[in-house]
Structure 1
Amino acid sequence: MEKLQVGRATLTWLKGGVNFLDGGAMFGVVPKPLWSKKYPVNDKNQIELRTDPILLQVDGKNLLIDSGMGTGKLTDKQKRNFGVLEESSIENSLSEIGLSINDIDIVLMTHLHFDHACGLTKEEEGSFIKAFPNSKIYTSAVEWQEMRNPNIRSVNTYWEINWKPIVDQVETFEKEIEILPGLKMIHTGGHSDGHCILVFEDGEDCFIHMADLMPTHGHQNKLWALAYDDYPVISVHEKEKWMNVGYKKNAWYTFYHDAYYRAIQFNEQGEKMKAVERNRYSYE
């Protein structure tokens, strides 16, 4: 598992699953000859996307950024449609570093689409229960509202089995909240109405988790928004804002979906300074 140290924060990428989605959908109106130079595509026009939660350890607390694809929740049809080749193995990942699901203090949900939220619950004896029984779960008030009352567009990604068992764990906020000193969760909207990013600052050290405003390194261009975005113009403006903020700080940008990079540090010109590459392995 790959690790990154940013100030007093340690980030470790866990194994949350992998799927293959249509590259055109992931890059919206951007022509394929442009985006395919930035991110590899297969002969079915699909790109590989991880769904790997990040274990964030700060000040003696164990936090999880999003929760993975889950295990045993997808039908064969859903696996086929979403190109799922691997489901989550979070418990095994945690055990490799001497932790268990009971050690997770806080789960930070950037948004609650199924590929981020399926890992919040698990099936046991025919019913769904909490996956992280001792944790608080933070998400924006807007996102939590839509999770429980999805609209005609979002009903296929906000699932009842992912929220009903965790109602008493959830804490919401409006615009932003400081989770721990230097660690903020900020409501941006864009990808979903309640979408959030994470910003951590410790002196001169900084990382920004853009979540699905910039799901992979190939989405660095501020104008490249997903066809999946509910409010793409907001995505563009928020990406521009937070890329400018991060560039000035030489911030690390961390990824949940990227199959090739875990994190990249950019300079003031937006050029790559350092990177944490993912250790890849074959699914064949």
Structure 2
Amino acid sequence: MESLQIGRAKLTWLNGGVMFLDGGAMFGVVPKALWSRKYPYDNKNRIELRTDPILLQVDGKNILIDTGIGNDKLTEKQIRNFGVHEQSSLEKSLMKLGLTVHDIDFVLMTHLHFDHACGLTNRQSDNKFQSIFTQAEIIVSDIEWSEMRNPNIRSKNTYWEINWQPIINQVQTFEKEIEIIPGLRLIHTSGHSEGHSILIFEDGEECFIHMADLMPTHAHQPVLWALAYDDYPVTSVHQKEKWMEKGYMKNAWFTFYHDAYYRAIKFDSSGEKTNELKRKQYTYQM
């Protein structure tokens, strides 16, 4: 597991599973001739995407950023369609750190699509589902929480009742932004989904910005490179431009949930890479 110290915060990437999705869908209108130079693809035109939660340890709190694709949640058809290569081993990852799921104080959800939220609940022997992080406060934007429970004709394929029903009593929502602990804020952006949020941590001169699915991989650094999956791509572009510019000026680390090659990258004020944390193992060489 890779770790990174940023100010008083320690970030550790856990194993939340891996899937392979169509590269064209992940890069929207960007021609394959361009995106394929930055991110490898397989013989089915799919790219490797991690779904790895980040454990953030700061001020004595254990905070989880998103939850992975879980286990025993997907049908055989979904496993095939989403190219699921490996399901979650998050609990084993925590065990290696001397923790259990009951040690998590906060779960911060950037949004509630299945590949981020399936790790919130698990299946019991009676085929019912229950919350995994029983001691945690689960925080998500009020817009996202509302759509999760009342999906539209498009979003019902990614917002699942088995991921929200068991956690109702643990959820705290917010409107525009919420400070979790001093310096750590969850901020509503919209874009990828209407309720999508990003995370920013500032500690003196140290900073990281977790752009979630506004910039799911390092190859999505160009501002106009938005996903075909985005509900509001123009909003994604504007929000991405705003927060990347802020990150560049602060020489911030940008952290990733989906990237199969980089865990985090730091850029200077002109957007040039100045530092990096690579993932130790990956399927396709760059």
Q: TM-score, normalised by structure 2?
A: 0.98
Offset, 1:218:
0.3
**Which residue in the other structure is 1:277 paired with?**
278
**Which residue in the other structure is 2:2 paired with?**
2
Conserved in 1, the CA contact under 8 Å of 2:261 and 2:282? Answer: no
Offset, 1:124:
1.2
**Which residue in the other structure is 2:22 paired with?**
22
Change (3 A) 1:282 1:216: closer
**Which residue in the other structure is 1:255 paired with?**
256
CA distance in 1, matches of 2:107, 2:183: 17
Whether 2:148 is the aligned partner of 1:147: answer yes
Q: Please give the secondary structure, in 2, of the residue aligned with 1:197.
A: strand
Greater shift, 244-253 or 124-133, is seen at 124-133
- Read off the aligned partner of 1:91 and give its amino acid letter: E
CA distance in 2, matches of 1:260, 1:282: 9
- Read off the aligned partner of 2:242 and give its amino acid letter: K
Greater shift, 125-134 or 198-207, is seen at 125-134
Q: Which consecutive aligned stretches of 4+ in structure 1 deviate over 4 angstroms post-superposition?
A: none
Deviation digits for residues 83-102 of structure 1 (CA, Å, limit 9, x no counterpart): 00100011000000100001
CA distance in 1, matches of 2:128, 2:103: 23
Deviation digits for residues 192-245 of structure 1 (CA, Å, limit 9, x no counterpart): 000000000000000000000000000000000000000000000000000000
Whether 2:241 is the aligned partner of 1:229: answer no
CA distance in 2, matches of 1:275, 1:269: 16
Whether 2:87 is the aligned partner of 1:87: answer yes
**Which residue in the other structure is 2:104 paired with?**
104
Could you tell me which runs of 5 or more consecutive residues in structure 2 were left unpaired when the two chains were aligned. none
Offset, 1:282:
5.2
**Which residue in the other structure is 1:40 paired with?**
40
**Which residue in the other structure is 1:192 paired with?**
193
Q: Please give the secondary structure, in 2, of the residue aligned with 1:84.
A: coil
Q: Please give the secondary structure, in 1, of the residue aligned with 2:157.
A: coil
Greater shift, 119-128 or 51-60, is seen at 119-128
**Which residue in the other structure is 2:139 paired with?**
138
**Which residue in the other structure is 1:162 paired with?**
163
Q: TM-score, normalised by structure 1?
A: 0.99
Aligned-pair Cα RMSD in Å: 0.8
Change (3 A) 1:93 1:255: same
Conserved in 1, the CA contact under 8 Å of 2:260 and 2:282? Answer: no
Deviation digits for residues 111-133 of structure 1 (CA, Å, limit 9, x no counterpart): 00000000000011221000100
Q: Please give the secondary structure, in 2, of the residue aligned with 1:115.
A: helix
Aligned pairs, number:
283
CA distance in 2, matches of 1:43, 1:102: 41
Deviation digits for residues 152-194 of structure 1 (CA, Å, limit 9, x no counterpart): 1100000000000000000000000000000000000000000
Q: Among the aligned pairs, what percent are the same residue?
A: 71
CA distance in 2, matches of 1:58, 1:110: 19
Offset, 1:42:
1.2
**Which residue in the other structure is 2:247 paired with?**
246
CA distance in 1, matches of 2:76, 2:154: 22
CA distance in 2, matches of 1:235, 1:158: 20
